[in-house]
Structures are given as structure tokens and as C-alpha cells.
Amino acid sequence: MARQADIAAEIERLRGGINHHNYSYHSLGAPEISDAEFDALFRALKALEAEHPELVSEDSPTQRVGSTPLTSHSQVTHELPMLSLDNAFDEQDVVDFEKRITTRLKTSESIEFACEPKIDGVAVSLMYEDGKLVRGATRGDGTTGEDITQNVRTIESIPLRLRGDDYPSRLEVRGEVYFPRSAFNRMNALAESKGERTFANPRNAAAGSLRQLDARQTAERKLSMFCYSVGLVEGSQLPGRHSEIISRLKTWGLRTNPLIEVRTGAEGCSSFFEGILNHRESLDYDIDGVVFKVDRMDLQAELGVLTRTPRWAIAHKFPPEEGISTLREVEFQVGRTGAITPVARVEPVKVGGVTISNVTLHNMDEVERLNLMVGDSVVIHRAGDVIPKVVSVLVNKRPENARKIVLPTACPACRSDIVREEVIAKCINGRRCRGQRKEAIRHFASRLAMDIEGLGEKLVEQLVEASLIETPADLFGLTKEQLVELERMGARSADNLLAALENSKETTFARFIYSLGIEEVGESTAKSLADHFRELEPLRNSTIDDLQSISDIGPIVAEKIVRYLQDEDNDQLIEALVAGGIHWEVEAERELDQVLEGQTWVLTGTLSSLTRNEAKARLQSLGAKIAGSVSAKTTCVVAGDAAGSKLTKAQSLGVSVMTEDELLQLLVKHNA
């Protein structure tokens, strides 16, 4: 009988061999053994581990797929935000991008850029501790994502343990999970042969696969991943160039794109772009452009980040795809604020890999601008994930029986009167309108709001039509008995929804404000309100003047917020939501030195690092008063690009003038 030590050694040998061949196949693209030989190694390891379960470890290749499905995905807060990229749409945009960089760096030398294909997949974060994969998460909103550890473990190109021994003690790797075209086509062909639903495109299929609660279903999809950067790094120093970091990731067993190159200047970037564009169709994965990143990490640090986008990187998107279709009909839909929107129903047409049958027309002014009629041949434009739109009408192909598009006189959802507010047509019935109720609840449950998993548009419609809910607060009073009576809602689905509702009660103040659906209050404004008021009661008691003191809130938005908060129905809704258990942690207020108290400052010209409102708010947080004109009483003028008469007057009066860089240094110094 073999000794325990010999068995443990054989298990480690098999694991090492399997990991090596996975690396050769996925990362190097150079398999050393046949599939049958690989399968034999895997079966041998599985058999030994079955006989000796005490020797099974979490990072064993046999442990990629968990056996117990999750009830929901938990939230993950990224220790470093996952940023998004600005876009370039033509060669001049890339030239301007490099010019902004050289101007900021005060150099005339050409910049070296790491160039790589932009994978059309799902951005994820992988956390390794002491070389072991401990967490996988989606990008989410850049700050908070979903824990998808079980699912990323099923992806064979993602190592459960890093190779070598020179990796950092903690390493966050970022990349794009995608559905290879070949695997996607095989899956759709199989589904079609069984009479099952097929997926529209690889990106949507990849996103859906990563959000499966049963990792065994994710494993069947054969997803893959390219790593494109690192986030958090602790316990080691990485190389000084992005391209060198990518090479280092590859030595640790992580899969990187073999098409990455370093090119010099905008001209080199454009040449790389053309080369990738010409070979786009030969790839086994979808790409929607090319990403250019300043290669030197010290220059990246010097350039910094503007809000959520780095100044040192840009995505050069491929030309948008267009298709021609026929407008069959126009229907009118009511939104959560009562806005009546015309929606074009067109003959299905494939644009950018997606079949389009519905196209938003925004409003009646857009219909008139396009000179659009039912029956027209129309050009439909779609770029990346942008909602498709009608860009022009082929008037010369207009049929004789083409019909004019007429705004209805009554709301399509509740038959109440419609009124015009500037370019927007609105239903006057408010929350009594069933259509507005549905949209308000759908918005409340959406990802950037309360993020209630499983509560989609169709289920919201069912709940409203069954008179089970009228307001978002009613969601938290639903019972399993009520839910299982709904069509296609089994006991397990009901349990999952109730668990998701319970999980959603722990949120942030900003998400709660956004979830209320206050007109003109988007994600950014909700965050500003949360940062300013910090607690609910001060917000509820705020005045228009209070609100206008916040950087990005003007008189119109302030009036709409106050009108919402003073409405009796809305007040009762907020009370009911809080009483239903929705809560959040109150962040500690930052104590800032009022070093500019009593001073009057003026902002002029264009600021590249922050908006005028952001600069105003941060100066006000240090005690400054912001004025719109320069006088002898002005303390300081901040002069951005193209500063005009205000700068001239300041100079003539001997008023102190500060550059944008000097302003940033002041704000950083005082933590504003």
C-alpha cells in the first residue's frame, strides 16, 4: 500500500502537470499534449482525490466548479476604483489625445503607447493572495461590483494559483471575460437543435453566464479571459512600464493578449488601429476598438485621473455600424416621470451583431427633424452599447401610403390628458398612472439604484398588473404565497426574490436618493446630495437655496428636488421605505480647514482637470466665496485655458492670479 506521502507527492505532480498544460494551452497558445492525454491526467488526479479527500485543496484543478448553487451574488467594494475610458472616434481624436498629454507633461517628445485590442466582453477583477485566487468580482459601477468568485473559478484560462514565486503577496488583476466566437456558435447551434432560446451576441451571453447562481452552468459556457492591467499591488514592486507588467502577468500564468504592441506617437497608434481593424474578422473574439495607454507608469501617475477616466488612456472605437430597415409602426410609451416617448417598431435588421427591432425616437421634435413617416426606409445607427437610433430617412424611397406620425391626445397607459412641456409631452396623472408606477418601480430596482437581483421589467409588470404593488415600498411586503401564484414563478424563484429584497435593504444614501427617481437627479447628482447632506432629514428639510449651494445643482434641478420632497405622496413613500428596513451607514463628515474664509475667488477660462462646478465646490469647502466678476475686493482669480477679460481685469487691478496646477496643489494640500 502506497504511503500517504507518496500519494500526496503524486497528487502534487498531477496538479503541477495539469496547471502547466493549461498554461501552455491558454496563455502560450502552444499545447504540448493532446486533449486525450490531458483528460487522462485530469481523470487520474480526480480518482486519487476521491480516494483521499483529506488531500483535496481549494486550488486543485478539480475544484473549479462548486456543487452548491448560490441564492444571490453579494456586493464587493473595489479597494481601488475600476475606471472607464474616454473614447476616440477618428484619427484626429487620437492626435488631440496625445497633444493633451504632451501639453500636461510639458514635453515635445513623442509618447510611447501600449496598444491592445479592446475586447467586447465583461470587465472583471481577480484578487490573488499569496498566489491563490481568493475573489472574482464584476466591475459594477466602478466602485461596487458583484462577487462572482465561483463563476470565474470555472474559467480554465484563469489560474487558481499563480506560477512561480516572485508575485506580490496581494495582487489584483483586471481583465475582460469574453465568449469565444467558436464556443458561442457551438452553444447556439446546440440550443437551436433542441428548440431552445439562442443568445443574440457573445457579449450578452458572457455577461449572463458570469451572473449565473449555479457555477456549473457557467462552466458549460467555456468562457475565456484576457488580463489587461493590475489594480491593488502589495508586497512587491512591479516593472516601470505597462507593457512590462503585462509580460510579468504572463509569466505568472495569467492570459494576456498576444497582439499587444508598443507604438510611438499618435501616428504609431493609428497604424496599429488600422492593422487590427483589417484583421478583426479573423479573431475568435469580438472587439469594438483599440485601447492606447501611456506605457511608462511614472507618466501615468503624473497625468492622473479625471473623475472616473484616466488621462493616460483612451479607447479608439471602430466606426459605428449602420443598417437600413423599414418603419412599420410608432408606439408611445410613458416613463417614470410621465414623459411620453415615441418608439419606432422596425423590420428586424442586424446592426453591430445585434438584431434591432425597436428604436427610440426621443420626442416629437426629433420625429419632425427627421421628417419621419410610418412606412419610410430608415438608416439605423448603433455604436458599441449605445442605444440604436434612426439617423436619417431615405425620402426618395417613401411609399405613397406613408402615414404621418401624430402625438396621441391621451396617455397610452391610463388615458389621462397629455400636456407639452417644451419638447417633452407628459401624462398629467402622476403616480396614479399605471405606466408611470411600473417605470418608477423598475427604476427603483435597477442596478445603480437598489440593485434588486431578479426583479426585472417583466416581473415588475406582473406584480403591478396583479395589484400586488403600487409603490416601491410595497415590494418589501410581498410574501412567498403571493409570489408563487404568479406565472412562471416557482417556490425557488420566490425565495430568491425575497432574499434579494432583504439584501437590498442595506444600501448607501446615494443609491437610496437615486432610487427615488426624482426628475433630473441622476447618479452623479444623487452622490452630490448624499455627500452634502449625509443624512435623510437635512435633505428632506432643504430649501432651493440650500440645494443651489451644491456644486452641480442649478435652480431648475433644485426646484424639482424641493417639489418632489414636498409632495405628500412622496413623503409617505420615503417614510414607508425607511420603516420597511432600508438603511445605510452615515459617513463621518470630513473636517476641512477654513483657510480661505473671508476671501473672494473668481474662476475664468476652461479647466482641464475638474469642472467649474467642482472647483467652485472645493473652494467653498475651504471657506471661499465664489464671485462671477473681478473687482478690487477679489482675493484671487483662477485662470484656465482661454481665460479672457476677467484675467485682463485682474492683472490691471493687481489681483493675484493662480494657474490650474497651482489650484490643484492648494486643494491637495488642504485635502479638499
**Grid coordinates representing 615?**
472647483
Residue reference for cell 439604484 = 449
Alpha carbon of residue 62 to chain centroid:
33
- DSSP letter for 55, please: G
Asked if 147 and 136 count as a contact pair (C-beta separation under 8 A), the reply is yes
Asked if 506 and 489 count as a contact pair (C-beta separation under 8 A), the reply is no
Report d(CA 657, CA 468) in Å as an integer.
Answer: 62
In what helix (H) or strand (E) does residue 77 lie, and over which residues does it extend?
A: strand 75-77
Q: How far is CA 301 from CA 125, 201, 381, 624, in A?
A: 21, 37, 37, 29
Residue 500 backbone dihedrals phi, psi, to 5 degrees? -65, -40
Asked if 416 and 433 count as a contact pair (C-beta separation under 8 A), the reply is yes
Report d(CA 380, CA 214) in Å as an integer.
Answer: 38
Residue 580 buriedness (CB in 10 A; 0-12 / 13-18 / 19+) = middle
In the three-class reduction of DSSP (H, G, I as helix; E, B as strand; rest coil), residue 194 is classed as coil
In the three-class reduction of DSSP (H, G, I as helix; E, B as strand; rest coil), residue 51 is classed as helix
Least Cα distance to 285 among 177, 197, 191 occurs for: 177
CA dihedral (155, 161, 162, 164) in degrees, to 10, reads: -140
Report d(CA 404, CA 421) in Å as an integer.
Answer: 22
Neighbours of 298 (CB within 10 A): 10
Amino acid identity of residue 255, one-letter, is R
Amino acid identity of residue 563, one-letter, is R
Amino acid identity of residue 295, one-letter, is D
Q: How far is CA 448 from CA 149, 204, 321, 508, 517, in A?
A: 21, 19, 29, 11, 11
Residue reference for cell 433542441 = 194
Asked if 202 and 178 count as a contact pair (C-beta separation under 8 A), the reply is yes
Least Cα distance to 660 among 633, 642, 645, 634 occurs for: 642
Least Cα distance to 440 among 288, 568, 587, 569 occurs for: 569
Least Cα distance to 228 among 256, 250, 206, 254 occurs for: 256
Report d(CA 270, CA 272) in Å as an integer.
Answer: 5
Catalytic residue at 222?
no
Catalytic residue among 118, 222, 527, 560: 118
- DSSP letter for 187, please: H
- Side-chain half-sphere exposure of 105, counting CA atoms within 13 A: 22
Report d(CA 177, CA 78) in Å as an integer.
Answer: 18
- DSSP letter for 403, please: E
**Grid coordinates representing 407?**
402625438
Contacts of 618 (CB under 8 A, 6+ apart): 610, 667, 672
Active site residues: 118
